[in-house]
Amino acid sequence: MSLDEKALHDAVQQVAGQRVQSANAKDGVATIVLEVGGMDRLARDKLEMAVRDAARKAGAAEVRVAMTAEKRAPLIIAVGSGKGGVGKSTLSANLAVALAKAGRKVGLVDADIYGPSQPRLLATEGRRPEAEGNKMHPVQSPWGVPMLSMGHLVQPGQAIAWRGPMAGNALNQLIDAHWGDTEIIVVDLPPGTGDVQLTMLQKHKPAGAVIVSTPQDLALMDATRAIGLFEQAQVPIIGMVENMAGYVCPHCGEESDPFGSGGAEAAAKTMNLPFLGRIPLDLSIRQDSDGGRPPAAGEGPQAEAFARIARAVLGWLDQRK
């Protein structure tokens, strides 16, 4: 049986998961690099045996396994929009929770330095991060997502009047924290294309960006500007999400579209970008979010809407690997 590199990677990833740093195939020889930081000798030996067996079943005539304790930096997924008020922070929080429900180790950074809202959305208001050396430890949310926000460092309601360089330094401290074994960090960017976004793109190159928009034309125009900024920085666009897409009256059951319908999907098609899904304009999403209960943590159609987007993001990440 010939050795196909994709089949090899898929086979070893099934037994080693995110510890697979690389899996290459050439002339029947499989060369696999594993990240084994934090594992004891017995666990490393068991992992190596499982990987060797999987590689042979995939068709490898010879298997070479290298192990490293070097921890890879988490992948950064930036969530952006061209304007405020489109539900970007709500999507960021629920995307992080949905990714965690899917079994990934996910962190969340609230990069909206001037208007942090993630502590409210994930029920961590009033909590302060602990520091070790010159780095912070994230605050643990009740939903399995560690997080950091300027809202954890200032008093609730306190105005933050910082110029661009100070805001950029604050973002650096939030991202360069003790994230442990976190695999993915979802970064909730402020709206627009200002200093914080530029700092993110220049110093903390995201693996990809998710763009949030409502269906209305004005929001889509601003979302196009945000896409342009990411593309100029050579950050791949994972896809677009249409928020506030349709409203069902709780009294009569009639469905309407206050902000229009299908605009983000049509824009994504025009720009040849993936369309990741829709989030409905639903009263329960607003109520749960205000109460620090992310809908993605529960069940039902609202949770499934966020889960579909999380699956699309994971599919994109797996394909990029």
Residues 122-132 pLDDT 10s: 999 888 888 87
Torsion-angle region of 214 (φ positive above 0: left; ψ -120 to 50: alpha; else: beta): beta
Delimit the domains of the chain by residue range: 5-68, 75-320
**5-68 belongs to CATH 3.30.70:** yes
Cα atoms in the Cβ-side hemisphere of radius 13 Å centred on 159:
2
Residues 6+ apart with CB under 8 A from 85: 191
Residues 279/91, Cβ–Cβ less than 8 Å = yes
In order of 202, 242, 268, the CA distances from 274 in angstroms are 24, 12, 6
The whole-number pLDDT of residue 115 equals 74
- Flag the least confident range among 10-14, 55-59, 69-73, 309-313: 69-73
pLDDT bracket for residue 85 (50, 70, 90): low
Q: What are phi and psi of 230, to 5 degrees?
A: -65, -40
Q: What average pLDDT does range 197-218 have in this prediction?
A: 79
**Cβ burial 122-161 (10 Å sphere, 16+ → b, else e):** bebeeeebeeeeeebebbebebebbbbbbbbbeeeeeeee
Q: What are phi and psi of 10, to 5 degrees?
A: -60, -40
Between residues 121 and 171, the one the model is more confident about: 121
| The CATH number, out of the four listed (3.40.50.300, 3.40.190.10, 3.40.50.720, 1.10.1240.10), of the domain defined by the range 75-320 | 3.40.50.300
Is 11's pLDDT higher than 70? yes
Assigned token pair, 256? 């309407």
The whole-number pLDDT of residue 172 equals 82
Residues 138-148 pLDDT 10s: 999 999 999 99
Q: What percent of the chain has pLDDT over 90?
A: 34
Q: What percent of the chain has pLDDT over 70?
A: 82
Residues 191-204 pLDDT 10s: 766 667 777 777 88
The whole-number pLDDT of residue 184 equals 95
pLDDT bracket for residue 249 (50, 70, 90): low
* Average pLDDT over all residues of the chain: 83
Is 279's pLDDT higher than 60? yes
pLDDT bracket for residue 158 (50, 70, 90): low
* Cβ atoms < 10 Å from Cβ of 65: 17
Residues 246/305, Cβ–Cβ less than 8 Å = no
Cα atoms in the Cβ-side hemisphere of radius 13 Å centred on 191:
15
The whole-number pLDDT of residue 138 equals 93
The whole-number pLDDT of residue 96 equals 97
Is 255's pLDDT higher than 90? no
Assigned token pair, 308? 């579909």
The whole-number pLDDT of residue 98 equals 96
